Amino acid sequence: MTAGTEGKRTPLYDVHCQLGARMIQFGGWEMPVSYTGIIEEHQRVRTHAGLFDVSHMGEIEITGPGAEAAVQYLTLNDVHALHVYQLQYSALCNAAGGLLDDLTVCRLAPERFLLIVNAANIDKDFDWITQHLGPGARAENLSDTKALLALQGPDAEAILQRFCPVPLGALLYYHALVTRLDGHEALVSRTGYTGEDGFEVLLDAAHAVALWQAIMAAGQAYGLLPVGLGARDTLRLEARYLLYGQDMDETTNPFEVGLGWITKLDKGEFIGRDALTRLKAAGVPRRMVGFIMQERGIPRAHYQVIQDGQIIGEVTSGTMSPTLNQAIGTSLVRSASVKNGSIIAIDIRHKAVPAQVVPSPFVPRRVKR
């Protein structure tokens, strides 16, 4: 909250202010951090449902006969077998194998792809993509004309079904459909960043306020609450989803942060492939681990991680888990001997506080498979 700085605003800015949200700067945007309280909002998503404005996220469309080849060349994952209206988690790397961004790819048509990217990286990604597009492909930055809402939680399907004309029960995880919601065309995908079942709805910015109000009205009987970025962060950390700029950046490669599963080295040529092939063969010295604090203290980003008196890394994300009521965190550690069950220590204000390494995620994901 720096005095005098104003960020970009989503189409829902006035709605957030009317709801009494606490606003913060995030990735160059003025976003709601919470409305009624982070813990209440977090628990509501786990037990019922929450509605998030994530319109700060970017949308870049790649079209043309060379679109598939362009996306194959730009991203780590393999889009060749991706069906129309199927989505895929992926990432952009530079030639050295450093992560430029993580993103979601949706094939909208055989020769049309939508990339959903992080808010702080929109301009960087769009520049990178336009510089590396091959022949027959065109990229367009739709970020300013689109709004994105996320409806998450066990009651999300029931709420959205109240005014969605097509049955949502058949929509599979990481699949999408186009329908009319509240009279306007929307792309509805079964995706999210909370570890719960739920949907993300992409629509024209002009209709965002009306759809937000319609979802809130439909959700009233289910206890639906608006949820800010504060709970979005605690929810994603409990579910062990990575946050770009915090858990990874251009100095980290996909293997060390656990993204080897999206890195398809055998799919053909793509940016970073040679470097990543070498890194994989050499073996990466760092590894992302999750841990639960064993004594009082909350790990925070950049706190040092200690094993046998040696600094083995830094905390990348940490918080008090509202679901577990225990302090949790993740760290990129340089140590081969850190395994599930290992005891490490976090330097919290010059005190080594013990923590135990645990398998991920902290709270089981309940997405619809």
Partner 1 sequence: MEFPVNLRYTKEHEWARQEGNRVVVGITDYAQKELGDVVFVELPDLGTTIEAMGTFGVVESVKAVSDLYAPVSGTIVEANTILEDQPELVNASPYGQGWMVVIEAANPEEFQQLLTAAEYQAYVVQEKSSR
- CB 190, min distance to partner 1, A: 28
Between 41 and 125, CB nearer to partner 1: 41
Between 90 and 234, CB nearer to partner 1: 234
Torsion of CA 328, 331, 336, 339, to 10 degrees: 10
Gap between the Cα atoms of 89 and 184, Å rounded: 27
- CB 156, min distance to partner 1, A: 23
Helix (H), strand (E), coil (C) string for the chain: CCCCCCCECCCCHHHHHHCCCEEEEECCEEEEEECCCHHHHHHHHHHCCEEEECCCCEEEEEECCCHHHHHHHHECCCCCCCCCCEEEEEEEECCCCCEEEEEEEEEEECCEEEEEECHHHHHHHHHHHHHHCCCCCEEEECHHHEEEEEEECCCHHHHHHCCCCCCCCCCCCCEEEEEEECCEEEEEECCCCCCCCEEEEEEEHHHHHHHHHHHHHHHHHHCCEECCHHHHHHHHHHCCCCCECCCECCCCCCCCCCCHHHCCCCCCCCCCHHHHHHHHHHCCCCEEEEEEECCCCCCCCCCEEEECCEEEEEEEEEEEECCCCEEEEEEEECCCCCCCCCEEEEEECCEEEEEEEECCCCCCCCCCC
- CB 28, min distance to partner 1, A: 17
- CB 342, min distance to partner 1, A: 24
Between 349 and 369, CB nearer to partner 1: 349
Q: Which residues contact 118 (CB under 8 A, 6 or more apart)?
A: 27, 57, 58, 101, 102, 103, 125, 244, 245
- CB 274, min distance to partner 1, A: 40
Between 155 and 233, CB nearer to partner 1: 233
- CB 36, min distance to partner 1, A: 10
Would you give the distance in Å from CA 307 to the centre of its chain? 30
Between 162 and 302, CB nearer to partner 1: 302
Between 241 and 303, CB nearer to partner 1: 303
Between 258 and 299, CB nearer to partner 1: 299
Between 199 and 303, CB nearer to partner 1: 303
- CB 205, min distance to partner 1, A: 27
- CB 296, min distance to partner 1, A: 7
Contact positions toward partner 1, by CB under 8 A?
1-4, 22, 33-34, 37-39, 230, 233-234, 296-298, 300, 319-320, 322, 327, 349
- CB 104, min distance to partner 1, A: 25
Between 40 and 274, CB nearer to partner 1: 40
